[in-house]
Amino acid sequence: MIKKDKYTVAVVGATGAVGKEMVKVLEERRFPVGKLRLFASKRSAGETMSYMGEDHTVELLQDDVFEGIDIALFSAGEKISLAFAPKAAKSGAVVIDNSSAFRMVDDVPLVVPEVNPDAVGRHKGIIANPNCSTIQMVVALKPLHDKAIIKRIVVTTFQAVSGKGKEAMDELFEQTKAIMTFQDPVVEVFPYQIAFNCLPHIDVFLDNGYTKEEMKMVYETRKIMEDDTIGVTATTVRVPVYIGHSEAVNIETEEKITANEARAILSNAPGVIVFDDPKKNIYPVPIAVSGKDEVYVGRVREDESIQNGLNLWVVADNLRKGAATNAIQIAEILIK
């Protein structure tokens, strides 16, 4: 990318939950935006969004809109990315795509800036933003992998409804309101009631019995960590939380790491905050990390069932570090 003082930046899917957060993070981090263009479907085109104190009109996404755009941030789903991201790249933009469309394509970098920033330089017009649950996990695990080599990861996630979009957030609100007023909740977005419930079902089920979300964590972790030998198994659960994914992570390492050593390593790791003193009820929870960009780690303890095992509790804002902030951080590396 040609070095500039200011860049023309596009946000595709600007009116969605992550798109709005992208606009917000661009402003907060003072990204050198010379011109901001916002795109969405017919349903949202014509709306206005505020950026740096000025109203910007949301444009209709079409084939010919990417000329002159330097960086295109996509957050409009896999179908839109497959249809429009290659066109944006062909027009000269560097695409940072938040969907799953290109994550496992061999020559498309899958980037978490704290983990594999050098991969940005290998792009051919498209850079993939990983899955939200994968991002926060690898930010916490990469420093431990560098120290002692992780052999195996067992992870159970507790994922907020915002990971499925605004409609899912609205459904949780409406179901909660209905139940609290002694009415029957309406189920549309999820296969079962999500209010006051947990669903071990995120994305579609595959032939191996895992969900697509679970297998994303397997394949993406290996690609980002650049180590196909790591064993990964996941169970992903949707919980009635609006923002913030939590993860119970168990790892087995080749060399022993004590809990105190792990806390010390993570305390010095980029993008990680250790919040861990259970005797004082100090551990991360979703409501406390909402609006923050760091990955919070607590409940660090040694797994007494194996020789070289650790348990961690990992929490992050899925709309920010799990999506929007990670994409903007990639863009910041790109322009450097």
The arithmetic mean of pLDDT across residues 74-101, rounded, is: 97
> 200: Cβ–Cβ under 8 A, 6 or more apart, which residues?
235, 236, 237
Alpha carbon distance 245, 289 (integer Å):
10
CB atoms within 10 A of CB 144: 20
Instruction: Catalytic residue, from 56, 123, 145, 245: name it.
Output: 245
pLDDT at 157: 98
The arithmetic mean of pLDDT across residues 3-19, rounded, is: 95
Give 66: exposed, middle or buried? Use CB within 10 Å, 0-12, 13-18, 19+.
buried
Domain spans of the chain, in order of start: 7-130+323-335, 134-318
Beta pairing, strands 54-60 & 48-51: antiparallel
pLDDT at 1 over 80: no
User: What confidence tens digit (pLDDT) does each residue in 205-241 have?
Assistant: 999 999 999 999 999 999 999 999 999 999 999 999 9
Write down the CATH number for the domain with range 7-130+323-335: 3.40.50.720
User: What confidence tens digit (pLDDT) does each residue in 54-64 have?
Assistant: 999 999 999 99
Task: Look at the block and give the residue holding tokens 């992903």.
Answer: 236
Alpha carbon distance 250, 154 (integer Å):
5
pLDDT at 3 over 90: no
**Residue 317, CB-side half-sphere exposure with 13 Å CA sphere:** 19
pLDDT at 269: 98
Q: Determine whether 132 is an active site residue.
A: yes
Task: Report which residue type is found at 294.
Answer: E
Q: Determine whether 56 is an active site residue.
A: no
Query: What pLDDT band is residue 324 in, cutting at 50, 70 and 90?
Result: very high
DSSP helix/strand/coil, 25: helix
Instruction: Catalytic residue, from 123, 132, 145, 198: name it.
Output: 132
Write down the CATH number for the domain with range 134-318: 3.30.360.10
Query: What pLDDT band is residue 52 in, cutting at 50, 70 and 90?
Result: very high
Alpha carbon distance 316, 287 (integer Å):
10
**Whole-number percent of the chain with pLDDT over 90:** 99
